[in-house]
Structure 1
Amino acid sequence: MIDIPASRLLLSALFALQLMLPLSLAHAAGSTVVQLKWRHGFEFAGYYVAKERGYYEEAGLDVQIREAGPGTDSVEEVVSGRATFGVGSSSLLLARKAGKPVVALAVIQQHSPYVLITGTFSATDSIQNLLGKRVMLDPMADELLVYLKREGVPIDAIQRQPQSFDITDLTSGKTDATSAHVTDQAFRLDQIHF
C-alpha cells in the first residue's frame, strides 16, 4: 500500500507527465532532460517512480533526470536549452519577473526544503543571534532572505559568505551558519553526530 506522501509524489509526477505530453513530438528524436535543483534524493521520488514504471516511455519520451551540483541553476539550464524542464524554487518567480522566459507548470513541494543550520543551539537562541555572524546562503534560497528580513535580520547585518556547499565549512568553524536542504545536508550532519 502506498502511503499518502508517496502517492502525492506519484500524482505530481503524473501531472507533470501530462503537461509534458505535447512535447513528445517536439522531442521525439532526442531526450527530454529534467534538471533537478539538487542531488538525487527522496524529494524527487515522483520523477524516478514515473521513469521506473515506464510512464514517460509510454508517452513517447526518453526522459533523462539530471541531478544538480553546487552552483547549478535549473532556470539557466532550461533557458539555455541544456534542459527541457527544471525543478526550481521560489527563485523561479524572481526569474520570471526579471524577464526570463520561464513558467511554473506545477508546485510539487508544498514546503521549502531550505533551512539554516548553526553549529550550536540552545533554548535561549533565536534567529537574531545571526546578527554580525558569518552565514553561507545558497543563491537559490530566496525564501531564506525573506525569512531573515521578516524576523528582523537584514542581509546587510550578517557577514554573507559565498555558499561552498561543503558542510565541513560549518563543522570546522569556517562559517557560523549555512543554508542547507533538510533532506540532504541536515541528514549528513546527523550521520556525523554534529
Structure 2
Amino acid sequence: MPADPALRDYLLTRRSVGMAFLRDPGPDAAELETLLTIATRVPDHGKLAPWRLVLFSGDARAEAGNRLAALVKARNPAIDEAALDIERRQFLPAPLTVGVIFSPKPVPKVPELEQLLSAGNVCFNLEHAANALGFAASWVTRWFAFDTEAQALLGASAGERFVGFVHIGTPTIKPDDRDRPALEAVVSHWQG
C-alpha cells in the first residue's frame, strides 16, 4: 500500500467537535449510507458484527430527550425544570446521533473483550467517516449509556449496552488542538 500523506496529516490533526457546536445540515441519505458503511468496516474477529446502530434524527432527537427527562422525573419528582431541560436536549442540536450498541455473541473463540473493542471501533470510525464527508462528530457516553432502563428506552435489548453516542453535524467552530501525552510517558519497549 503506498504512503498517503493526506491521510497521515488528517490523523495527526483529527479533533472531535463538541455537540454544542454541531448544526444542520447533517448527512443526506446517500452520505448517511456511506457514513454507516465506513463505520462498520472495523476489525471483527469471527465476522460476528457484535454491534448494532440506532439512529436519532429529525423529531426523534427531541422525543428521545423527552423520554429521558420523563425517566429522570419519575426517579426524582422534585427535580427542577432547568435540569429536565438538560435531559430534553441530550440529542440536540446535532442533526444526527448514532447510538452504538454492543451486542455480544456467545462465541468461545472470540472473547467478549474483542467484541467490545470492535464496537468501540465503530464509534471511532463514525468520527472518521463524518470528517471524511465534511462533517464533524463527537463520541460521548453520558449517564444513559450506563443505565439499564435508559438503554432499553433508547433501543438496547437484554444483554446489550451502549458503548457510545456519536453526534454528527456541520461544525460551527474549528477546535484548537489539545495537549497530548508525551510518547515517552506512554510507550515502552519490552525487554524480556
**TM-score relative to the length of structure 2:** 0.24
Task: Give the number of the structure with larger relative contact order, counting CA–CA contacts within 8 Å between residues 6 or more apart.
Answer: 2
